[in-house]
Amino acid sequence: MSQEETPLKDRKVISIGTVRDLTGLSERQIRYYEERKLIFPARNGSGIRKYSFADVERLMEIANQMEEGVQTHEIRREWKKKEKEHENWKKQMLKGQIQAHFKQNRP
């Protein structure tokens, strides 16, 4: 998907300094969450991290959970579980649409 096709919320265009200002997190904390595989910034040709608005929202969610005492491995596990549930839901929806389509088109 090209940059123009990517939804605005998901475009990786925000610098780490701006993310720091928006979230109140330090650059060190932001990099730590990347190391823990909770956030996945893009890197430009010079290796500079670029974030999206979706990343900023995710960082805010991480920060809130960390304040509540949730550990990073627990956050990652919960997100993986939610992603898997969402994928299963999408598969079921697609399966239902395909079945409905073929039932309607039977002679």
Q: Are residues 65 and 86 in the same domain?
A: no
Distances (CA, A) of 78 to 4, 32, 52, 93: 31, 18, 21, 22
Q: Where are the beta strands (DSSP E) in 1-107?
A: 42-43, 49-50
Q: Are residues 12 and 44 in the same domain?
A: yes
14-48 in b/e form (b: 16+ CB < 10 A) is bebeebbeebebeeebbeebbeeebbebeeeeeee
Q: Are residues 81 and 64 in the same domain?
A: no
Question: Which pLDDT tens digit goes with each residue over 45-97?
Answer: 999 999 999 999 999 999 999 999 999 999 999 989 988 888 888 888 988 88
Q: Are residues 50 and 92 in the same domain?
A: no
Q: Are residues 7 and 24 in the same domain?
A: yes
Q: Are residues 12 and 40 in the same domain?
A: yes
Residue range(s) defining the domain that contains residue 82: 75-107
For the chain, the distance separating the N- and C-terminal CA atoms, rounded to the nearest angstrom, is 39
> CATH no. for residue 41?
1.10.1660.10
Consecutive H or E run containing 72: helix 72-104
User: Is 100 a residue whose pLDDT tops 90?
Assistant: no
Average pLDDT, the chain: 90
